[in-house]
A = this chain, B = another copy of it.
Amino acid sequence: MKFSASQIAGLLNGTIEGDANASISTLSKIEEGVPGSISFLSNPKYTAYLYQTQASIVIVENTLELTGPVSATLIRVESAAAAFATLLEMYNQVKLNKSGISPQSFISPSAKVGTNIYAGEFSFVGENAVIGNNVKIYPQVYIGDNAVIGDNTTLFAGVKIYSETQIGKNCIIHAGTVIGSDGFRFNPENDHKKVPQIGNVIIEDDVEIGANCAIDRATLGSTILRKGVKFDNLIHIAHNVEIGEHTYFAAQGVVGGSTKIGKNCMISGQVGMVGHLQIADRTTMTAQTGISKSITKPGETYMGSPAFEISKYRKAYIQFRNLEALAKRVEQLEKQGK
């Protein structure tokens, strides 16, 4: 897709300075601008790049005063950052504007399918599944029997949705993620027999989940991700976990079975929580934290494994770094005492 400076100026309600026929097919940072790309200048710290950039078009603010020659075509707008954000979204919408049901997909005759969906090659929709309007099912996606996918949700290539899973509206699930696999429950005392996992997973609206995550179904009842939860890549969620609205979860987290996490928590990378905990709203956990006890007070920050409150942890860790010196000081005191 190519766009000319005049087309873009029209979209952004901007004014052109330079070649109105300059055309672009991609977007770039101003310091990395290549021919055929459009960039923007908002932060004054980057002004010097305007005079060096190879970008074909640069969006700048109406108030900018040039101090030298610029090779790029300029488009002047009120807010360059806002205009560029608009372009980013439009670009993404065009790029992701897939539609149509591939003859090489498989949709069970008993499935109910909404209007304007995309079902890519080698995608599979099981019996009695319900697919909303404008759903995008990329190639090699699997949607099991009785699963429900809400309107405007996108499942990228190779996502695997087990049977009975319910996914809300406006969700995005990235490639390779598995939702609804069996919880990890066996009975070592009874010949290691598997505990049947017959619950499901419920994912509410506006949830985004990264690539190659694994979210287990409940033993009975539901594993639940509430509205607006955001997951990075490679996260493991055990059976019967519940995660509150707008909680953010960075890569490679682990949550043990039946733990309930509150709203608006910020969980960094490689964090682990054992099972059967309650985590208060607005809890923050730093990277690699290990949580072994429930957290009842909202809004606190935790660090370490097992974790405790961050300022106390940092003070202890400062001493840990110098622990050999402390031990020598104790030794010295003991010598003096003799």
Residues of A within 8 A of B (CB): 27-29, 32, 85, 88-89, 91-92, 95, 102, 104, 106, 120-122, 124, 138-140, 142, 144-145, 156-158, 160, 162-163, 172, 174-176, 178, 181-182, 184, 186, 188, 192, 194, 196-198, 206, 208, 210-214, 216, 220-221, 228, 230, 232-234, 236, 238, 246, 248, 250-252, 254, 256, 264, 268-270, 272, 274, 287-288, 290, 292, 305-306, 308, 312, 315-324, 326-327, 329-330, 333-334, 336-337
Which one, B216, B236, B246, contacts A252 given CB within 8 A? B236
B272 engages A287 (CB within 8 Å): yes
Contacts of A145 in B (CB 8 A): 95
Contacts of A326 in B (CB 8 A): 319, 326-327, 330
Contacts of A318 in B (CB 8 A): 324
Which one, B92, B160, B316, contacts A175 given CB within 8 A? B160
B321 engages A320 (CB within 8 Å): no
**Known contacts A142-B139, A188-B248, A254-B252, A174 near B182 by CB under 8 Å:** yes
CB distance from A191 to the nearest CB of B (A): 9
A234 engages B232 (CB within 8 Å): no
Contacts of A272 in B (CB 8 A): 252, 269-270, 287-288
Which one, B92, B157, B181, contacts A233 given CB within 8 A? B181
B330 engages A212 (CB within 8 Å): no
Contacts of A158 in B (CB 8 A): 140, 142, 158, 160, 176, 178
Main secondary structure of the interface of A (DSSP, over half): loop
Could you tell me the distance between the alpha carbons of A305 and B289 in the complex, rounded to whole angstroms? 9
B316 engages A322 (CB within 8 Å): yes
A196 engages B89 (CB within 8 Å): yes
Contacts of A264 in B (CB 8 A): 188
B210 engages A214 (CB within 8 Å): yes
Could you tell me the distance between the alpha carbons of A95 and B198 in the complex, rounded to whole angstroms? 9
Of A106, A319, A321, most B-chain CB atoms within 10 Å? A319
A142 engages B124 (CB within 8 Å): no
CB distance from A300 to the nearest CB of B (A): 16
Contacts of A196 in B (CB 8 A): 85, 88-89, 91-92
B221 engages A29 (CB within 8 Å): yes
B324 engages A315 (CB within 8 Å): yes
CB distance from A268 to the nearest CB of B (A): 8
Could you tell me the distance between the alpha carbons of A62 and B176 in the complex, rounded to whole angstroms? 48
**Known contacts A175-B178, A212-B176, A236 near B233 by CB under 8 Å:** yes
